[in-house]
Amino acid sequence: MSGFFRSLARLGSYRGLPFAVAGALLMVPVSPFAFAAAVAVEADSRVRALLALVAIAVLTGLLGLLGPVRRAGIGLANLLLGTAVPAPAGRPGAGTRLRSGLWLALHTLLSGVLLTVLAFLGLGLLVPAVWLAGGQDSISLFWDDVPLGAWTVPFGVVLLFGALVLVAGATRAFRTGAEALLGPSDTERAALAERRAAVLAQRNRLARELHDSIGHTLTTSTIQAAAAADLVEADPAQVRRALGTIEEASRSALEDLDHVLGLLREEPAAKEPTRTLAEVDVLAVRAREAGVDVRLTVTGPVAGLPAAVSREGYRIVQEGLTNALRHAGPGTVEVHVEAGAERLAIAVVNALPGVEPRPGRGGLAGLAERVEALRGELDAGPDGPRWRLSATIPLRAGA
């Protein structure tokens, strides 16, 4: 209870007032039909007024059964009440429509009651105003003439405090009702969970794309630039070749980056760059130009591999060569790509960097996820005096 009274000092506790005004406005389109139905009944005026209220509730409830009306109600509650009701996911079921209709009926009726009570409280605040103005000595109140005096000041304070408590309580009630009746059903919660899982999976995929493509390009470009700086006077032709390699690699990385940024902005991006094992020789050439002795062996119908397998195979070789550029000891780097009838086998083998421990495996974790998604196996670690990265991806079910 103390928390409720402390909330009276917060402006957000009175969001229910504009929300009630919006609810009263919702009565406008249905009121003529409700009053026409009430007038058509032979009854006392008070009975007709009650029938009109019931008709308004029924008509607004029927409007709430419509999917677009529910979506608008959620947007209105989130905007005016500060709730966080998620947008509907998929087509609403019968139970969801009934809850939405009940909420709209309650919203309009409670709004009318709240505004009516506040109007009477507002009239009561005129009592101290009349006495303070000194215009008259009494006022008609409680069906009788009541003399005015100093009592009107605390009376007005009580009415004002009551109005604040009423609006704050209505705000809390509106929020509770909106979250309960407009909130997602079990089916919608499942759909929202699937949507969040899809977003997380997409983000992980984008992180892998950035690590594989941009990381490889930066590593190659850095090594090429350092080599060019050493040869700028001794071998200008080699420097030009190195700069050309850097330009080509950077352009390729910009294509990947443009694609990833387009996905993050959820806008039509440039066509997704297609890197397949048919282009694996380009990776070998870039690594050689960066100063690494690469021995590439490709066997089997690589061009006929499934698109997903070929793309992931390219990334595996790219990550292996990137790690070799960063960490390999002196000697050759052997790359073996074998496309068989039942499986694709890839191995990148290089000398270990002396006795120093090999750095972290952030990129290898991403590769493991890629290979696992294709039901394959990835292995990376020391193999005698060398480091071996090997992957096997089945091409047939059960292979």
Decide if domain 190-273 falls under CATH 3.40.50: no
Q: Which residues contact 181 (CB under 8 A, 6 or more apart)?
A: 99, 100, 102, 103, 106
Report the distance separating Cα 201 and Cα 25, nearest Å: 44
pLDDT band for position 224 (50/70/90)? low
pLDDT band for position 87 (50/70/90)? confident
The reported pLDDT for the residue numbered 155 is 87
Question: How many CB atoms sit inside 10 A of residue 373's CB?
Answer: 13
pLDDT digits (tens, 9 = 90+) for 55-68: 888 888 888 888 88
Residues in the chain: 399
The residue ranking higher by pLDDT, 265 or 191, is: 191
Report the distance separating Cα 356 and Cα 33, nearest Å: 85
Report the distance separating Cα 321 and Cα 219, nearest Å: 10
Calculate the CA 94 to chain-centre distance. Answer: 27
Superfamily of domain 275-399 in the CATH hierarchy: Histidine kinase-like ATPase, C-terminal domain (3.30.565.10)
List, by residue range, all CATH 3.30.565.10 domains of the chain. 275-399
Question: How many CB atoms sit inside 10 A of residue 244's CB?
Answer: 12
**Mean pLDDT estimate for the chain:** 80
Answer whether residue 268 shows pLDDT above 60: no
Beta-bridge partner residues of 393: 344
Answer whether residue 39 shows pLDDT above 90: no
Question: Could you tell me what percentage of the chain is helix, strand and coil, using 3-state DSSP and rounding each to the nearest 5?
Answer: 65, 10, 25
Residue/partner pairs of 280-287 with CB below 8 Å, 24 or more apart = 280/313, 280/314, 280/317, 280/335, 280/337, 283/216, 283/314, 283/317, 283/318, 283/321, 284/321, 284/335, 286/220, 286/245, 286/248, 286/249, 287/220, 287/321, 287/324, 287/325, 287/333
Give the CA dihedral 225, 229, 235, 240, nearest 10 degrees: 40
Which residue type is seen at 354? G
The enclosing H or E element of 183 equals none
Q: Residue 118 in contact with residue 160, Cβ under 8 Å?
A: no
Answer whether residue 285 shows pLDDT above 50: yes
Q: Residue 317 in contact with residue 335, Cβ under 8 Å?
A: yes
List, by residue range, all CATH 1.20.5 domains of the chain. 190-273
Q: Residue 395 in contact with residue 342, Cβ under 8 Å?
A: yes
What the block records as the tokens of 330 is 């002196």
> Which residue is it, tokens 């050689």?
288
Report the distance separating Cα 142 and Cα 133, nearest Å: 21
The reported pLDDT for the residue numbered 324 is 85
pLDDT band for position 357 (50/70/90)? very low
The residue ranking higher by pLDDT, 213 or 82, is: 82
Mean pLDDT across 228-246: 72
